[in-house]
């Protein structure tokens, strides 16, 4: 065995580890600009086979931990009320908001996101339009939470949802890891293939995301970094500073 070469590789590995640990420690503060380690980040990303098409957020939020119950609306009530709502006049978004108001669930946590209709619909869709709302609390979206209102022939036909309601904030805010550290936790699993990152944003997220839609469940959402890959897949890195 070439011990000189082995020692060199070991020294390089130890130096890279030390740089990463120092960077992780320094990026505990609100503004990553203070660390002045953009070059170090670039080097570490290259080592981990990561490619960015967006800038890494420099400011990391100190936010709350959330606790609430999942919204629960009786299916029969949705069906009965859907056909009593007037046909669309002010557009799908306005009609969907009116429908949620009739149900008594439209408030500041329900934020309009997008409308899918016409040729934008998935192939085989059995609706004319879908209005998508997201769950926003404390200024951040709760990932994987939504309300979708469906329309057929100009009238509300159905609603699907997974939505954290009656949310309480933790008494104190918690510190979060930086976006740079969250990104460094990822890496390409295929040798020689880069992992392309197209989006990074802070969110809240319930760790377990397999709760049946419409079931009333009490749960807790924690701060996380949502990292979008070039394939469209989203990865989540828990962001609470230990």
Whether residue 94 sits in one domain with residue 17:
no
Whether residue 136 sits in one domain with residue 184:
no
Whether residue 150 sits in one domain with residue 96:
yes
Whether residue 178 sits in one domain with residue 150:
no
- Long-range contacts for 129-137 (Cβ within 8 Å, ≥24 apart)? 129/92, 131/92, 131/93, 131/95, 131/96, 133/96, 133/100, 135/109, 135/110, 135/111, 135/163, 135/164, 136/108, 136/109, 136/111, 137/66, 137/109, 137/164, 137/167, 137/169, 137/204, 137/221
pLDDT score recorded for residue 207? 82
Number of folded domains that form the chain:
2
Q: Return d(Cα 81, Cα 157) in angstroms, integer.
A: 9
pLDDT score recorded for residue 58? 83
Residue 174: which domain range? 3-64+170-238
pLDDT score recorded for residue 83? 66
Whether residue 52 sits in one domain with residue 31:
yes
Whether residue 23 sits in one domain with residue 87:
no
DSSP state letter for 85: S
Residue of 100, 202, 65, 183 lying closest to 143 (CA atoms): 202
Whether residue 24 sits in one domain with residue 8:
yes
Whether residue 195 sits in one domain with residue 134:
no
pLDDT in tens, the chain (242 residues): 454 544 444 444 444 444 444 444 444 433 333 334 677 777 888 888 888 899 888 887 789 999 999 888 888 888 887 766 666 666 899 889 989 998 999 999 999 999 998 888 888 888 999 999 999 999 999 999 999 999 988 888 899 999 999 899 999 999 899 998 899 888 766 666 788 999 999 999 998 654 554 455 888 999 999 999 999 999 999 998 76
Cβ–Cβ < 8 Å for 38, 179: no
Whether residue 92 sits in one domain with residue 158:
yes
Cβ–Cβ < 8 Å for 89, 107: no
Task: Decide which of 162, 196, 212 is a domain's last residue.
Answer: 162
Task: Decide which of 141, 162, 183 is a domain's last residue.
Answer: 162
Whether residue 113 sits in one domain with residue 38:
no
Task: Decide which of 133, 162, 191 is a domain's last residue.
Answer: 162
pLDDT score recorded for residue 72? 87
pLDDT score recorded for residue 88? 65
pLDDT score recorded for residue 26? 42
CATH code for the domain in which residue 116 is found: 3.10.450
Whether residue 147 sits in one domain with residue 174:
no
Q: Is 58 exposed, middle or buried (0-12, 13-18, 19+ CB in 10 A)?
A: middle
Whether residue 133 sits in one domain with residue 76:
yes
């Amino acid at each position: 065995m070439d011990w000189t070469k082995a020692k060199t590789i070991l020294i390089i590995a130890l130096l890279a580890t030390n740089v990463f640990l120092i960077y992780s420690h320094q990026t505990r503060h609100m503004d990553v600009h203070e660390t002045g380690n953009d070059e170090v980040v670039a080097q570490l990303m290259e080592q981990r086979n990561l490619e960015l098409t967006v800038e890494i957020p420099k400011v990391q939020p100190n936010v709350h931990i959330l606790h609430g119950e999942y919204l629960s609306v009786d299916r029969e009530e949705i069906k009965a009320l859907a056909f009593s709502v007037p046909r669309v006049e002010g557009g799908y978004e306005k009609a969907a908001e009116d429908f949620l108001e009739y149900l008594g669930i439209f408030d500041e946590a329900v934020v309009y996101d997008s409308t899918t209709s016409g040729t934008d619909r998935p192939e085989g869709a059995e609706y004319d339009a879908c209005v998508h709302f997201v769950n926003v609390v404390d200024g951040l979206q709760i990932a994987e939470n939504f309300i979708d209102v469906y329309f057929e022939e100009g009238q509300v036909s159905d609603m699907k949802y997974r939505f954290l309601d009656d949310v309480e904030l933790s008494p104190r805010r918690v510190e979060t890891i930086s976006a740079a550290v969250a990104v460094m936790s990822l890496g390409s699993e295929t040798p020689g293939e880069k992992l392309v990152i197209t989006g990074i944003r802070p969110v809240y997220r319930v760790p377990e995301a397999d709760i049946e839609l419409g079931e009333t469940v009490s749960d807790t959402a924690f701060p996380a970094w949502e990292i979008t890959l070039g394939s469209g897949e989203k990865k989540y890195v828990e962001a609470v500073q230990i």
